[in-house]
Amino acid sequence: MLRNLTRMPTELSSDSRRQLLNAVTDLFLLDQDPSDTSKDHYGEIAVTSLTHLGDEDRKDYADRVAAAPTLPRNVAVTLGGDGNAEVARLVLTLSPVLTDGDLAAIAVSQSQQHLAAIAERARLSESVTDILVERGDRAVLTTVSANEGATFSDRGFDRLLERGRGDAAIAGNLARRSDLAPQRAERVLRIVGQLAQDAAGADTPQSLARQARQQRLEVKLLLADLAAKVREVDDVLTMLADEDRAYHLAQVLAQVADIGPDQALRVLMQRDASGIAVTCRTLGVGLTAFRAILQLRARRLYFSSRDIDDDVDAYAKLDLATAERTLRFLKLRTRIA
């Protein structure tokens, strides 16, 4: 069927192409392990259709497929490199299909909004962060400096310090990171100390370092308490969500749901709430805690209160057995990949 659809007539209207693409996508996403041939045919249909769609239709499609692990790479690259940053945003942030080379090529050629979306990815390699810290504006530098999934080469780290000189937010983000080697941490704390002297009421390097250590220790203790069953999952998730600690919340989800940290963060922050709903349902998360998680997502992804209410209603109706089957499949697919 997909092979035949690749021969669709060129005179199709934009609306007809949108409808066709949606229908074919429904079929494609039902196949949890599509063959290379199916992916090739679907990719050809999608890429061809996208060139005829308007911005809003392309964005709707991109948001739908952004986190799909079976999405053909040429489709992910097309969406991620779209000149409209709103079309590209979720694909650049969430897609597991894009390679470091793809991200680097987009980061070199596209806008600051594209770079900001890349800076939010669950994991970033040194080759990509090198480009972000060289080309990125203040918003990009602030985001990537706070991203604990981002790794920095020596050159990239030096450049980040150079370009972020005098910026308390960037220096503070770096001081709070849990992955800094002693030499890097010492340099950052010296910078923060100087900034604290220059700005009345600013945090001291000692307080920033203490805060970072306390948060890391707190997460370890929370995970230990959950393992020992002396804390309720709902209480921990609600606290971290209310404090807007997405990275730490993903760490907790990863341990209690037995999934990878990257996958947990991707599920938490992807636009479609079905992934986080499935994960939470299998853990027995209540409506109050789930709403708190949705509110964190709303702050990051700019959802409305109506979206939250709809997602809570859908969560309340989600069947536990269906959720457990879905999560088992996701775990299996992750191990195979």
Evaluate if residue 220 carries a pLDDT over 70.
Answer: yes
* CB-count exposure of residue 11 (10 Å: 0-12, 13-18, 19+): exposed
In the chain, the amino acid numbered 107 is A
Identify the DSSP state of 200. T
Contacts 24+ apart (CB under 8 A), 102-108: 102/73, 102/76, 102/77, 103/128, 104/128, 104/131, 105/81, 106/77, 106/80, 106/81, 107/131, 107/132, 107/135, 108/135
Q: What is the pLDDT of residues 260-269, one digit of tens each?
A: 877 787 788 7
CB 171, CB 195: distance < 8 Å: yes
pLDDT in tens, 51-104: 999 999 999 999 999 999 999 999 999 999 999 999 999 999 999 999 999 999
- Confidence tier at 271 by pLDDT (50, 70, 90): confident
What mean pLDDT do residues 123-128 have? Answer: 95
pLDDT at 337 over 60: no
Q: What pLDDT does 53 receive?
A: 93
Amino acid at 193: G
C-alpha triplet 65, 70, 72: angle, nearest 5°: 80
The answer to whether the CB of 73 falls within 8 A of the CB of 101 is no
pLDDT of residue 307: 82
Return d(Cα 309, Cα 291) in angstroms, integer. 8
- Residue found under tokens 């530098």: 141
Predicted confidence at residue 16, as pLDDT, reads: 78
The answer, yes or no, to whether residue 200 has pLDDT greater than 50, is no
Select the more confidently predicted residue: 288 or 319.
288
Per-residue pLDDT at 210 exceeds 70? no
Check pLDDT > 60 for residue 5. Answer: no
Residue 332 has pLDDT above 50, yes or no: yes
What average pLDDT is seen over the chain?
A: 85
- Residues with Cβ within 8 Å of 147's Cβ and at least 6 positions away in sequence, in order, are 119, 120, 121, 124
In 3D, which of 63, 53, 26 has the Cα closest to residue 42? 26
pTM over 0.75: no
**Most confidently modeled range among 103-112, 161-170, 317-326:** 103-112
pLDDT number for residue 336: 36
Provide, rounded to the nearest whole percent, the portion of the chain with pLDDT above 70.
85
d(CA 186, CA 56): 47
Instruction: Encode pLDDT of 26-53 as tens digits.
Output: 999 988 889 999 999 999 999 999 999 9
**Mean of pLDDT values over 230-243:** 93
Residue 97 DSSP class: S
Q: How far apart are CA 12 and CA 21, in angstroms?
A: 12
Least confident of 72-81, 128-137, 235-244, 257-266: 257-266
CB 18 within 8 A of CB 57: yes
**Number of Cβ atoms within 10 Å of the Cβ of 151:** 16
- Which single residue is written with the structure tokens 């789930």? 290
Question: What pLDDT band is residue 18 in, cutting at 50, 70 and 90?
Answer: confident
d(CA 115, CA 128): 10
- Return the pLDDT at 1: 47
Task: Check: CB of residue 115 under 8 Å from CB of residue 107.
Answer: yes
Distance CA 300, CA 320 (A): 27
